[in-house]
Amino acid sequence: MAKTRGPRRTTNKDSVVVIGLGRFGRALALELVDEDTEVLGIDENAELVQQLSGSLTHVVRADSTNEDTLRQLGVHEFNRAVVAIGSNLEASILTASLLVSFGIPDVWAKALSEAQGRILTQLGVHHVVYPEHEMGQRVAHLVRGRMLDYIEFEDDFAMVKTKPPSGIIGYKLADTAVRSRYGITVVAIKRPGQGFTYATADTIVEADDTIIVAGRTRQTERFSELQ
């Protein structure tokens, strides 16, 4: 086990331990650091650890299937942990089961298949994510319509970034009756060269604007398909 940077452990209760620094784990860890969250990154691959040694709060080369190693690193004291190991099924399962047995209250793990996800859930992992599957679904929505971005929540609700259809351009939002006509709400608007701002009843949408709409999945899709 070779440590490359920083003190042995981070004591911040808000910090996150990310195990597996492949494409997914690395992107996740770097994003957390960008948002001022302390991250302990662990990977058995020396080269990856070396590459990330200046970018994460702490990076350690270690085998996450070894309980003593994880305890030495203080992993059992974290409140949040992510198992970002996918194709190495054995390592994914062993690591997740150790994290759950430590009593970490918020364990996340990625799964490449439904079977892997089912096992992780049975082990007691609190949140299982399917990056490939979920990204595939998301991109399908983008490919289908004129959407610029798309997020689907539970219970058939989505938010979509899109260009405004001609039917609402030049009118106050209140006068376009988008809610009754299309079943969606325009929640934010962005003028060219400016940031997003909340949309109000008095907002007049221009052709060059970008808008964010919220509503039932199918209705947000239909709205974004309008020309």
Of 177, 133, 178, 180, the closest CA to residue 160 belongs to: 178
With CB under 6 A as the contact rule, the residue among 3, 6, 22, 50 that binds ligand ATP is: 22
User: How many Å apart are CA 118 and CA 139, to the nearest integer?
Assistant: 24
Q: Does 199 bind ligand ATP (CB under 6 A)?
A: no
Closer CB to ligand ATP, residue 89 or residue 169? 89
Number of other residues whose CB lies within 10 A of the CB of residue 216: 14
- Minimal distance, residue 151 CB to ligand ATP, in Å: 21
Q: DSSP letter at 123?
A: H
Residue with the CB atom nearest ligand ATP in the bound state: 86
Site string for ligand ATP, 109-148 (x = CB under 6 A): ---x------------------------------------
Tokens read off for 158: 């989505």
Residues 34 to 93 in contact with ligand ATP, rule: CB under 6 A: 42-45, 48, 63-65, 84-88, 91
30 within 8 A of 22, measured Cβ to Cβ? no
- Minimal distance, residue 42 CB to ligand ATP, in Å: 6
User: How many Å apart are CA 98 and CA 65, to the nearest integer?
Assistant: 8
Work out whether strand 149-153 and strand 58-61 pair parallel, antiparallel, or are unpaired. unpaired
Secondary structure of residue 21 in the 3-state scheme:
coil
With CB under 6 A as the contact rule, the residue among 15, 18, 20, 224 that binds ligand ATP is: 20
Closer CB to ligand ATP, residue 59 or residue 212? 59
Query: Which residues contact ligand ATP by CB under 6 A?
Result: 20-25, 42-45, 48, 63-65, 84-88, 91, 112
